[in-house]
Structure 1
Amino acid sequence: MGKLIPSIFHSSFPRYFNTFATHIQALSENSMSVRGNPKISDRFHNVEDALASFKKMIDKYPLPSVLEFTKILSPIVRMKHYATVVSMCRQMEVLGVPHNVYSFNILINCFCQLGHTDFGFSVFGKMLKLGVEPDVVTFTTLINGLCKQRKISQAASLFDEMIGTGYQPNLIAYSTILNGLCKTGNTKRAVRFLSMMEERGFKPDIVAYSTVIDCLCKKGSLNEALDLFSEMMVKGIRPNIVTYTCLIHAMCNSGQQKQATRLLNEMVDNNISPNIFIYNRLIDAHFKEGMIFEVLDIVNTMRKQGIEPDVVTYSILVDAYCKKGMISKAEDIVDSMKKLGIEPDVVTYNMLVNAHCKEGMVPKLKILLTR
């Protein structure tokens, strides 16, 4: 185990406290003065409650076991007071409380969440030195830390080392790498990784497929995204609103409004209700192509689905009519908004202002803005 991941592993564990201690102390003091979210755990309602229990524990003789300490550390991690937990772990070490794999994993996670994955690897080195066997959570936490820092190649290397040393990655580990690849735009590698998951016995779920489809759409690879969408459907994986939203948005961007509308109808047929974002995107795309009658059909469809136009919808309509020089029609829409209790925002008014100014209708504009 001592030879594991030599290219990215740092064994200088002492420096993670020596060089980080001052910074952590300041952070932890700030964290201790901030109240946590209520009801975040059954035992503690805020970070002060947890810290009070911790204080009582470290004053006991003999000291409680590390298992008892982790019952306090875990809720504080869920409250996202990572620096506080690091400071508490430091006190535990000074008092001679031995870590187990679970407490080490908590500490590694805190460093990774604080953006100090290198210190997380130092903790990992301490584990190996003390003979504490890492588990899948240890590796997945480090992989996630590397991905958060956009060090995808190192994360993938650690993932491969994990498998090479006999550890079986769980779905979270696979999903973490896949998400990291997509966030950094490694679409081809993400598609290959999706296939690799299945080869290794992990059936990708809708979240995994949607992640890669979204990545392909953002890269402008709509045809590949549709191929993956078809592959997913053949395998019996039912698309969700995220999947459809990615594809519809990409179709609108590429001028494929009719295909986007067909996909919208498919959503409805599959009992997946489109949201206002999808409808607004379709309305905007159709208006840009001058497809006014189609826009009216879309608005009617969304109303049948129980979704009423919002300020964005109306602003799209106002913008479209203003650009066509149909200013009176745009004014009628603004009036309709107000009657329905939807207050035009600054974007809506800016569209009207620009249109009136271009047409030399400033006096009429003043009347409109005051009524």
Structure 2
Amino acid sequence: MSLRHLVSRKTINNLSSTNGKSPSMYPYIYRNFTTITAPISSRFHFPNSDGSFKPLQNPNCLKPISSFSTHIHSADGTKLSHLGGYPKLNSEEFEEEEEEEEEDGTMNEFLSRFVWIMRGKLYEVYTDCDKETIEAMLLVVVGKVVSEMEKGGLEQMLGAAVAAPSQDFSEDLWRTVWEVSNMVLDDMRKEKMKEKMKGFLQSEEVKEMCRFAGEVGIRGDMLRELRFKWAREKMEESEFYESLECMREEARAQDEGEKSEGKQAETMGDEAVMAEEKPKVVSLPKRRGKIRYKIYGLDLSDPKWAEVADKIHERGELIWPEEPKPISGKCKLVTESILSLNKEEDPSPVLAEWVELLQPGRIDWITLLDRLKEQNNSVYFKVAELVLCEESFQTNIRDYSKLIDAHAKENHLEDAERILKKMNENGIVPDILTATVLVHMYSKAGNIERAKEAFESLRSQGFQPDMKVYNSMIMAYVNAGQPKLGESLMREMEARDMKPTQEIYMALLRSFAQRGDVGGAGRIANTMQFAGFQPSLESCTLLVEAYGQSGDPDLARSNFDYMIKVGHRPDDRCTASMIAAYERKNLLDKALNLLLQLEKDGFQPGVATYTVLVDWLGKLQLVNEAEQLLDKIVELGEAPPFKVHISLCDMYSRAGVEKKSLQALGALEAKTEQLGPDDFERIINGLLAGGFMEDAKRIHGLMEARGFAASEPLKVALMASQAFSRRRPTMR
């Protein structure tokens, strides 16, 4: 805290003329030091006029300087008063004075802070001395520090591991001067960092990020932490580029040095070695000649200044984040033990030991959790959950939501729900940010009901969902097979002037197409075109699939031809979808004509097209033709798809080919988890048609074990097969 910010009036003492020697009033001070009574603590010894050291004696000494804070005599005897006793200056002299004050700003700051702290040290030790005596001592100390700075000895003093006693001060006093000087320089460094940080806190980029965070519901401590984090990142980025610039300047200087004469290069190399060997300490800028400095407000004994200092300190804590406690000794070993824990180990005992040793605050907990997240992510979740119950952590709602979000990103749904339950048990109601995390988590997990609850919770709190929340909820409806509900949310987005992404449009279109919902697929396709998305091969294929599923091969063919017209070449999947549309109406001639036409244009059928044709020919009991197409799939170098085995089992069972039917059925039984209810019914009907009753009953048992109920026609067929007792050889 700079003293010049606390005092409006200036009290100036120019000691620049001392040059390490006593000014005209120094002998008067020295003489009276020997008559002051020894204080309670004899830690400090001040010099006599002859340079010898003796404790201060005689409390009845004369006051060395009266009204010290009001009148200070300069070396030439000029008297300056805080009531306007400054000498008058013309404009040129005033400008020169302003420039000099600006140049010596850092030095003034150092000396002002030094005076403030050193006065407190003197008052603590010399409790029996009056104010005038203490400030006279302070004047001597400051004079000595200034003389050392003028001679260049202060940097050497600050760089030493242990302060060496000077010829004027005792060892204890000089050590105190050394400690206070380093303390002041460290405070100045922190103050400089704070000022730099304030600039980045007010930068437009950080403000814009904070405004966005406020719009999505981030408030209070969480927003402040994020603001400091973003500002710190910007500051580190700026410092990084500044360091690159310095490195470039150094490299340029080095290149110029290499081109210079050998002797000069050798001299520069010696200086660089000396600079490397010199200990790196925080130091003041080097000065030449006398140092002109100002000490403001030596009289700060009024209690109001203490109140001002407390308020400034409180404000500083709000503006500048608290730093974690230094960790050393046994506490450091325990910290390393926490970081190296295994996933199966219980962190509670070692965590309790760490708390007992460090007595941590919130910033210490956050630092430990950040290190755990980087080095040991599995243990991080255990420790983070335990920390929620620690009183010193000062748990808030953001800590719960952050941990829930971390579990959700790792797909730990049960752990996330456990943290949510703890949150509710502690009386903390999920806010907007927590509800947003829950929407994303349950949508990703496919729990549509819980996702809807979290989404409605957002709306009930007055929050307008953003693009990410809408996308997550729409995808949850799509994955749950409810594309119409997803479409309603998409219309809500459009009403709020929020443009859905192409991925959302395609997901809805795909869902409608798979269900044969021609109306829904058409609406999505038209909306995409109005939104500026041109028809793609994928969207056209999905429309062909939709019309094929609905049993309208003519409209499917119309969309197929439109796709070719707009410049898309049909691929294997699109062609297979068109052939499947013809299959549903058993229009084999149109399907063959389409294939011949495409082959003339250079199209080569693939696995998808051959799979549809094998299935179609198998239903027609064209066994030889289906086997020829099966050989073409093998020639392509790919194994027959799983769907082909269903077609072959049905075909061979109806044709009574026992051996091949056995092979196809074995392949299906090995992967029953991939069979759907329609697949089971087709296999069982085929076995019943071929007379394989026992095998049909076994497959029916597997169907029920999967939780699928047989349709009424299938139940009638099974009952009829038992009633008529049609006996056929089994395949087992």
Q: Same fold (TM over 0.5)?
A: yes
Deviations along 1:62-120, whole A, 9 cap, x unmatched? 55894x8766544533554446434534655858799675x543212345542325413
**Contact 1:217/1:225 (8 A) holds in 2:** yes
C-alpha distance in structure 1 between counterparts of 2:537 and 2:661, whole Å: 41
**Contact 2:544/2:559 (8 A) holds in 1:** yes
**How much has 1:169 moved relative to structure 2?**
1.6
C-alpha distance in structure 1 between counterparts of 2:632 and 2:479, whole Å: 41
1:150 and 1:319, CA in 2 relative to 1: closer, same or farther beyond 3 A? closer
What is the aligned partner in structure 2 of residue 212 from structure 1?
A: 543
**How much has 1:197 moved relative to structure 2?**
0.5
**How much has 1:140 moved relative to structure 2?**
2.4
1:354 counterpart = 2:691? yes
Question: Within 5 Å, which residues of 2 pair with 1:249-288?
Answer: 249-260=580-591, 266=598, 270=603, 273-275=606-608, 279-288=610-619
1:262 and 1:79, CA in 2 relative to 1: closer, same or farther beyond 3 A? farther
1:61 counterpart = 2:393? yes
**Contact 1:318/1:334 (8 A) holds in 2:** yes
What is the aligned partner in structure 2 of residue 52 from structure 1?
A: 382
C-alpha distance in structure 2 between counterparts of 1:237 and 1:75, whole Å: 44
- The one-letter code sitting in structure 2 at the alignment partner of 1:61 is F
1:355 and 1:162, CA in 2 relative to 1: closer, same or farther beyond 3 A? closer
C-alpha distance in structure 1 between counterparts of 2:605 and 2:397, whole Å: 51
1:299 counterpart = 2:630? yes
**How much has 1:200 moved relative to structure 2?**
0.8
After TM superposition, the structure 1 stretch with the greater mean CA deviation from structure 2, 165-174 or 240-249, is 240-249
- The one-letter code sitting in structure 2 at the alignment partner of 1:354 is G
Deviations along 1:273-331, whole A, 9 cap, x unmatched? 315xx545423422444545533542342232234667546535523533xxxxxxx35
- The one-letter code sitting in structure 2 at the alignment partner of 1:195 is N
What is the aligned partner in structure 2 of residue 137 from structure 1?
A: 468
What is the aligned partner in structure 1 of residue 653 from structure 2?
A: 319
Deviations along 1:34-73, whole A, 9 cap, x unmatched? xxxxxxxxx79xx97564153155347255894x876654
1:165 and 1:63, CA in 2 relative to 1: closer, same or farther beyond 3 A? same
**How much has 1:194 moved relative to structure 2?**
0.4
**Contact 2:458/2:464 (8 A) holds in 1:** no
C-alpha distance in structure 1 between counterparts of 2:455 and 2:430, whole Å: 18
1:166 and 1:96, CA in 2 relative to 1: closer, same or farther beyond 3 A? same
**Contact 1:127/1:134 (8 A) holds in 2:** no
1:61 and 1:193, CA in 2 relative to 1: closer, same or farther beyond 3 A? same
What is the aligned partner in structure 2 of residue 247 from structure 1?
A: 578
Q: How many residues align?
A: 305
Question: Within 5 Å, which residues of 2 pair with 1:168-187?
Answer: 168-182=499-513, 185-187=516-518
What is the aligned partner in structure 2 of residue 124 from structure 1?
A: 458
**Contact 1:241/1:272 (8 A) holds in 2:** yes
1:192 counterpart = 2:529? no
**Contact 2:549/2:581 (8 A) holds in 1:** yes
**Contact 1:147/1:180 (8 A) holds in 2:** yes
1:236 and 1:96, CA in 2 relative to 1: closer, same or farther beyond 3 A? farther
**How much has 1:127 moved relative to structure 2?**
5.3
Deviations along 1:311-363, whole A, 9 cap, x unmatched? 546535523533xxxxxxx357569x69xxx958786994796289x9xx979
**How much has 1:219 moved relative to structure 2?**
0.9
**Contact 1:105/1:141 (8 A) holds in 2:** no
**How much has 1:165 moved relative to structure 2?**
1.8
Q: Select which of 213, 231, 241 maps to 2:562.
A: 231
- The one-letter code sitting in structure 1 at the alignment partner of 2:494 is I
1:269 and 1:190, CA in 2 relative to 1: closer, same or farther beyond 3 A? same
After TM superposition, the structure 1 stretch with the greater mean CA deviation from structure 2, 80-89 or 247-256, is 80-89
The CA RMSD measured in Å over matched residues stands at: 4.9
What is the aligned partner in structure 2 of residue 34 from structure 1?
A: none
C-alpha distance in structure 1 between counterparts of 2:396 and 2:605, whole Å: 52
1:228 and 1:302, CA in 2 relative to 1: closer, same or farther beyond 3 A? same
1:291 and 1:111, CA in 2 relative to 1: closer, same or farther beyond 3 A? closer
C-alpha distance in structure 1 between counterparts of 2:595 and 2:379, whole Å: 50
C-alpha distance in structure 1 between counterparts of 2:610 and 2:654, whole Å: 15
SS at match of 2:691: helix
- The one-letter code sitting in structure 1 at the alignment partner of 2:454 is G
C-alpha distance in structure 2 between counterparts of 1:231 and 1:64, whole Å: 59
TM-score by length of 2: 0.34
**Contact 2:516/2:546 (8 A) holds in 1:** yes
C-alpha distance in structure 2 between counterparts of 1:53 and 1:261, whole Å: 66
What is the aligned partner in structure 1 of residue 532 from structure 2?
A: 201
Give percent identity, aligned residues only: 15
- The one-letter code sitting in structure 2 at the alignment partner of 1:231 is Y
**Contact 1:318/1:351 (8 A) holds in 2:** no
After TM superposition, the structure 1 stretch with the greater mean CA deviation from structure 2, 69-78 or 345-354, is 345-354
**Contact 2:521/2:543 (8 A) holds in 1:** yes
**Contact 1:252/1:285 (8 A) holds in 2:** yes
C-alpha distance in structure 2 between counterparts of 1:344 and 1:122, whole Å: 47
C-alpha distance in structure 2 between counterparts of 1:214 and 1:141, whole Å: 26
Question: Within 5 Å, which residues of 2 pair with 1:81-160?
Answer: 81-82=412-413, 84-89=415-420, 91=422, 103-112=434-443, 113-116=446-449, 117-125=451-459, 128=462, 134-146=465-477, 154-160=485-491
SS at match of 1:175: helix
1:88 and 1:244, CA in 2 relative to 1: closer, same or farther beyond 3 A? farther
**How much has 1:241 moved relative to structure 2?**
4.8
Q: Which has the larger radius of gyration?
A: 2
C-alpha distance in structure 1 between counterparts of 2:564 and 2:387, whole Å: 55
> Which structure would you say has the larger RCO, counting Cα contacts within 8 Å and 6 or more residues apart?
1
**Contact 1:85/1:107 (8 A) holds in 2:** no
What is the aligned partner in structure 2 of residue 14 from structure 1?
A: none
**Contact 1:105/1:138 (8 A) holds in 2:** yes
C-alpha distance in structure 2 between counterparts of 1:344 and 1:179, whole Å: 30
C-alpha distance in structure 1 between counterparts of 2:512 and 2:668, whole Å: 38
1:221 counterpart = 2:555? no
C-alpha distance in structure 1 between counterparts of 2:690 and 2:489, whole Å: 57
**Contact 1:311/1:343 (8 A) holds in 2:** no
Deviations along 1:240-292, whole A, 9 cap, x unmatched? 554344333232222133444566685995567315xx545423422444545
